[in-house]
């Protein structure tokens, strides 16, 4: 316990900076534990008070006045702009697309089919296999002449674009479902995939 008068104690404290190395203790002690009474270094105080001032300015600019958009708002805005663009592009593709066009224009165009094959062999091949017969049973065979979700080219477009419908139980016996590839690919790319699938099943689609 320090028994020095208060004034002297304060004087010593104020003086501390000039007498580096001297330790000032506060005048209490609990269970043998004492407490330093030291002024923090100026560089530390400057950082501390600057952080508080910075916070206040930041909080005002971003959250009160809304002068600058937060990163989250900017990202959300950019994503919804992309989403709107994608939906518009899909609508435009769908407006020009029907079963006949897919079979007689898209699937007979070598460069369109090649584009579809490129995406197929990068992604779809994992579950549907190199020969589209799904040898590992991770997806349905696309060459067994059975079209679970409809046998028209537009049905196939739909299942690729939107994935397994919510009401479907998926593929027996595992219940495996397919994700909506429309989240990854544009309407045009999905039409290219459909063209590729049609080109591998000419007899199924000759009726269109």
Cβ proximity to ligand HEC, 38 vs 186, nearer residue: 186
- What is the spatial distance between Cα 101 and Cα 104, in angstroms, rounded to a whole number? 5
In angstroms, what is the minimal distance from the CB of 124 to ligand HEC?
Answer: 3
**What residue spans of the chain are helical by DSSP H?**
6-15, 42-58, 71-96, 99-101, 110-119, 125-128, 153-162, 187-199, 202-205
- What is the spatial distance between Cα 44 and Cα 152, in angstroms, rounded to a whole number? 72
- What is the spatial distance between Cα 135 and Cα 7, in angstroms, rounded to a whole number? 90
In angstroms, what is the minimal distance from the CB of 93 to ligand HEC?
Answer: 15
Cβ proximity to ligand HEC, 80 vs 184, nearer residue: 184
Cβ proximity to ligand HEC, 24 vs 189, nearer residue: 189
In angstroms, what is the minimal distance from the CB of 170 to ligand HEC?
Answer: 4
* Residues lying near ligand HEC in the complex (CB under 6 A): 123-124, 126-128, 138-140, 142, 146-149, 156, 159-160, 164, 168, 170-171, 176-178, 181, 193
- The answer to whether residues 142 and 200 touch, using CB atoms and an 8 Å cutoff, is yes
Cβ proximity to ligand HEC, 9 vs 109, nearer residue: 109
The residues, ordered by sequence, that sit 6+ positions from 117 with a Cβ below 8 Å of its Cβ are 196
C-alpha triplet 70, 73, 74: angle, nearest 5°: 85
In angstroms, what is the minimal distance from the CB of 189 to ligand HEC?
Answer: 9
Cβ proximity to ligand HEC, 99 vs 128, nearer residue: 128
In angstroms, what is the minimal distance from the CB of 57 to ligand HEC?
Answer: 49
**DSSP secondary structure, 16-39, as one string:** GGGGTT---EEEEEETTEEEE--P
In angstroms, what is the minimal distance from the CB of 63 to ligand HEC?
Answer: 42
Bridge partners of residue 33, in order along the sequence: 30
Cβ proximity to ligand HEC, 107 vs 142, nearer residue: 142
Neighbours of 120 (CB within 10 A): 20
């Amino acid at each position: 316990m320090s028994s020095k008068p208060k004034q002297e104690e304060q004087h010593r404290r104020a003086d501390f900076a000039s007498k580096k190395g001297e330790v000032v203790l506060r005048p209490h002690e609990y269970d043998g534990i004492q407490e330093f009474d030291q002024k923090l270094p100026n560089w530390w105080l400057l950082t501390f008070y600057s952080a508080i001032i910075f916070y206040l300015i930041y909080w005002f600019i971003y959250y009160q006045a809304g002068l600058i958009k937060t990163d989250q708002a900017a990202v959300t805005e950019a994503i919804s702009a992309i989403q709107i663009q994608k939906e518009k592009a899909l609508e435009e593709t769908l407006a020009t697309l029907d079963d006949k066009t897919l079979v007689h224009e898209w699937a007979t165009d070598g460069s369109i089919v090649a584009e579809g094959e490129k995406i197929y062999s990068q992604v779809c091949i994992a579950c549907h296999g190199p020969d589209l017969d799904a040898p590992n049973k991770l997806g349905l065979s696309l060459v067994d002449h059975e079209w679970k979700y409809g046998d028209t080219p537009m049905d196939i477009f739909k299942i690729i674009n939107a994935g397994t419908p919510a009401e479907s139980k998926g593929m027996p016996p595992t219940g495996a479902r397919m994700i909506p590839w429309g989240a990854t690919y544009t309407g045009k790319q999905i039409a290219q995939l459909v063209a590729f699938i049609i080109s591998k099943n000419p007899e199924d689609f000759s009726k269109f």
